[in-house]
Structure formats: structure tokens, C-alpha cells
Structure 1
Amino acid sequence: ELQKGTLAQCMALLKSRSSRQLNRISGRKGPLWQHGYHDHAVRTDESLHDNAMYILGNPVRAGLAGGLGDYPHAWCRWPL
């Protein structure tokens, strides 16, 4: 639950701060995030599972991994 502000403001702050920090650490310049975002309310366990599978499948769709859970830079290893 947000204590103050809107979700859009929260996301703008997150993207701004993380871009500055990651660009500083990596020595790069320029945009890191794409413009805008799409929020989606997760109301059921099924919706949560569907969204998680979509996120975990991104490296597979991009050709960076052969299967779910194979991406070496994943922040989690969920049992599938």
C-alpha cells in the first residue's frame, strides 16, 4: 500500500533513481527504461501465476535462455 502519492509517481521515482545509480555504476549514459509502464491489478492466485510466468519467460522469448529457469541472471529460481 502506498503511503503517499500515486503508483505513477512511485514508478517515476523508481525509474529515475535506479537509472541514475545503474548508469553511475556501469559508466554509461542515456535512458535505461522504456517510456511509460502498464500497471495490472493482481486479484487472484491464477493471475499472479500468469504474470510470473510471463516475466520468467521473457529471457526465453528474447532468445537469451533455452527454457524457464535457465537464465543465469534471474533473481529467483521458482519451481515450475
Structure 2
Amino acid sequence: MPELKHAHRLRTGRYSEAGQIYLLTAVVLNREPLFGNFKNGRLVVDAFRTAEREEFATSLAWVVMPDHFHWLIELKNTQLSTLMARTKSRVAVTVNRSIRRQGPVWQHGYHDRAIRKEEDLQAVARYIVANPLRAGLVGKIGDYPLWDAIWL
């Protein structure tokens, strides 16, 4: 599998702080639309809920797109790298088992952005859940089944 030329830059300056809010994004390898199938998309949601049960993070908003996800979380009792490794691993195992495939599901790494305290979290959440609308997948947000936000 080709290594991303600048993947190391994804880690530059990365830190994990309990109580900090992060916007996390992970992308499927080669942008394969694995989560265009509702059942596979729900496996991502199940992984988010498992992270909450383990008290690693509190989900504030998320959207599962056909080839990636955006997840707004408050980090709890773990490091970002652990949270994302476990989440991506759970999804890979369950999706591969579900559709009888083998091999990697995700591109290496992930993108994270710490949300500043002065940012409007509801505006960030609205931006996240409007992804399917901006991508032309639906005519209105309520028609897309794979999103949620604590404010809505």
C-alpha cells in the first residue's frame, strides 16, 4: 500500500487533552464508498457508541459519509491516537466480516482539529451534519440517515 507522502504532517503538533473538543475525520482507502450501504454505515455508528460506553469520548455530532466520517467529540479517558485506532479497527473488522472482504478499510492516519473554546459548537455541528446536503446526496438533511448531534 503506498504511504502518504506527507502523512507525518498529520501528527505534527498533535496532542490529546481530556475535556478538549475535537473534530475527527477518517477516510476510507481509495475513497471506496463502503458506507454508502446503510448497514455498513451503522457499523461506524456502533463503533462511536462503543467508544462512549468505554468512556473514551462523548459524541457531540457525527456524520458517516459513503467514504469517510466526521466525528465531533469531547475526549475523555484516552489519547486521540488510541480512540481512533480502536474505532477504525472495530469498523474494519465488522465491515470486512459483514461484506465478506479482506484487507485494509482505512487510509493511514486521520485528521483532527481541536475546537477553540470561543468557537460556536452548534455551528460546527450544523456544518458536520450538512455534509450530505453539500455533497448532493440528499435534498434536505433529514433525508440522510447517518448523522446525529446532541443539539438537534
Shared fold by TM > 0.5?
yes
Partner of 2:146: 74
Consecutive unaligned residues in structure 2, runs of 5 or more? 1-75
Q: Following the alignment from structure 1 to structure 2, what is the Cα–Cα distance between the partners of residues 50 and 35?
A: 29
Q: Following the alignment from structure 2 to structure 1, what is the Cα–Cα distance between the partners of residues 127 and 106?
A: 19
SS of the residue corresponding to residue 39 of structure 1 reads strand
Q: Match for 2:113 among 40, 45, 52?
A: 40
Q: Following the alignment from structure 2 to structure 1, what is the Cα–Cα distance between the partners of residues 94 and 109?
A: 19
Q: Following the alignment from structure 2 to structure 1, what is the Cα–Cα distance between the partners of residues 139 and 147?
A: 17
State the structure with bigger RCO (CA 8 A, min sep 6), 1 or 2. 2
Partner of 1:16: 89
Paired AA for residue 138 in structure 2: A
Higher helix share: 1
Seen in structure 2, the aligned counterparts of structure 1 residues 51 and 11 have a Cα distance that, compared at 3 Å, is: same
Consecutive unaligned residues in structure 1, runs of 5 or more? none
Q: In the alignment, does 2:99 pair up with 1:26? A: yes
Q: Following the alignment from structure 2 to structure 1, what is the Cα–Cα distance between the partners of residues 131 and 141?
A: 9
Quick one: percent identity of the two aligned structures? Answer: 47
Q: Following the alignment from structure 1 to structure 2, what is the Cα–Cα distance between the partners of residues 62 and 9?
A: 30
Higher strand share: 2
Number of corresponding residues: 75
Shift of 1:18: 1.6
TM-score when normalising by structure 1? 0.67
Shift of 1:9: 2.0
